[in-house]
Structure 1
Amino acid sequence: MMKRVFLASALSFSSGALMVPQAHAEVALTAPQQTIVHHIEDTLSQTESFQARFEQVSSADGQTSHGTVLVARPGRMRFTYDAPSPLSVVANEGRMVFQDTSIDQVTTMPLDRTPLGLLLRPHPHFSGDVTITGYHQQKGQIELHVVRTESPSEGELTLFFTAHPLALQGWNVVDAQGRQTRIHLSEVQTGVPVDAKEFALPKDDE
């Protein structure tokens, strides 16, 4: 049960009743920074598919997990955790579904309530309903901190990129209770062929 909670925390903003008040002021970007953000948006929009290995680390328990992620934009994604983990995550049809086969449990949430929902949009953007709360660039690395404009207390998402060439390296989620989960990507392959069957949603028998 706890593994499933940590998994949901890694990929979604918390929707729990306890909210921790946090300051999420919009940051003023310089003209060069705005240009880079637009470049990030364009790069994400033009990336139709990619596959990568991932490492997931949770601050709640220090647990580290590994696996493979497959993304087919817009709207489809699959996380397959390495054995013996019983966990998997599939996004499709506007939903994100978490499955734990060890307890035969399936949990579903709207994709637009998750940080990956921002990345899986047809045209990812970081304005309007998304607010940039931080931007840092040094030694060829870019960090972009964002929240949902209408519900910033749900959590903050930090995206990590290499600057040259521009490429997504991973993300960090801080939920409403202050728990952090870091996803690091490696062995990234873009433009990979995808099979629609990879994104079949697990069924909830309840």
Structure 2
Amino acid sequence: MLRRTLLTILPVLALPLLLPARAGAQSPRGATASGPVPPREQGPLLARAEAYLNGITTLKARFLQLAQNGGSAEGTAFIARPGRMRFEYDPPEPLLLVASDNQFLYYDRELKQPSVVPVGSTPLGLLLRREIRFGGDVEVMEVTRNGGFLGITLRRRDNPAEGQLTLVFSEQPMELRQWLVVDGQGRQTRVTLSTIETGMPLERRLFTFNDPRFFEEERNR
């Protein structure tokens, strides 16, 4: 039932964010930003967050994903900017999510079934752009600060029905710690990062799902 539901909603949801999974993990504390920043004071904060994100070439982190229904999943996230991302879920979840070549792959290892949608149909695709800029086709809905955390809520200006993406950063040092997606139906999913590393080499084979050998490796796991 879970997999059938996911396959029907893939074209409109941010893939790595909205996959309700096994229950049991507790909600992270202290990383939810609140308290609006006046528009006249937002400029330097947005510029600092842009500079940080654009300075990331590679990132590896553990993630904890919490869905609105209380389900949770953990795993390892890899980002290689621009354009590439991989979410590897810990067992018993059989799910794999990979972004590359302007496509998002959802792969169920148990069913051996891949599904692909455009990166542009997912809010998280904003993080994979060659240049991240809070402006133009990206509309800043709100900027908040609380307890050393900065929150920036965004949506695509030309597709507001897609939903909103909130990025949460620690300010000292500046570091992406969490994101929250609210889809067009109001469903929320939160992903929290920990054990964050940046600047390391990542093998290209992690993201090359357009190579048939990629699936052979996955089937042999």
Residue type at the aligned position of 1:148? R
The CA deviation at 1:13 is 9.2
Residue type at the aligned position of 1:158? T
Report 1:28-67 matches (<5 A): 29-30=39-40, 32-59=41-68, 61-67=69-75
Determine the C-alpha separation between the residues in 1 that align with 2:39 and 2:198. 29
**Tell me, which stretches of 5 or more residues in structure 2 are unaligned?**
19-36, 216-221
TM-score scaled by length of structure 1: 0.85
Determine the C-alpha separation between the residues in 2 that align with 1:42 and 1:189. 17
Structure 1 match to 2:2: 2
Determine the C-alpha separation between the residues in 2 that align with 1:34 and 1:112. 26
Identity of aligned residues (%): 37
The CA deviation at 1:149 is 0.1
**Tell me, which stretches of 5 or more residues in structure 1 are unaligned?**
15-26
The CA deviation at 1:126 is 1.2
Deviations 1:146-200 (A, max 9, x none): 1100111110111110011111002011111111110000000011111111112
Higher helix share: 2
Aligned with 1:116: secondary structure? helix
Determine the C-alpha separation between the residues in 1 that align with 2:181 and 2:105. 18
**Relative contact order (alpha carbons < 8 A, sep ≥ 6): 1 or 2 greater?**
1
Report 1:146-185 matches (<5 A): 146-185=154-193
Deviations 1:31-79 (A, max 9, x none): x3211101111111111001000000110x3111000001110001110
User: Is the Cα contact below 8 Å between 1:13 and 1:155 reproduced in 2?
Assistant: no
Determine the C-alpha separation between the residues in 1 that align with 2:97 and 2:109. 11
Report 1:84-163 matches (<5 A): 84-163=92-171
User: Is the Cα contact below 8 Å between 2:14 and 2:123 reproduced in 1?
Assistant: no
Determine the C-alpha separation between the residues in 1 that align with 2:14 and 2:116. 15
User: Is the Cα contact below 8 Å between 1:56 and 1:65 reproduced in 2?
Assistant: yes
Residue type at the aligned position of 1:178? G
Number of aligned residue pairs? 190
The CA deviation at 1:116 is 2.1
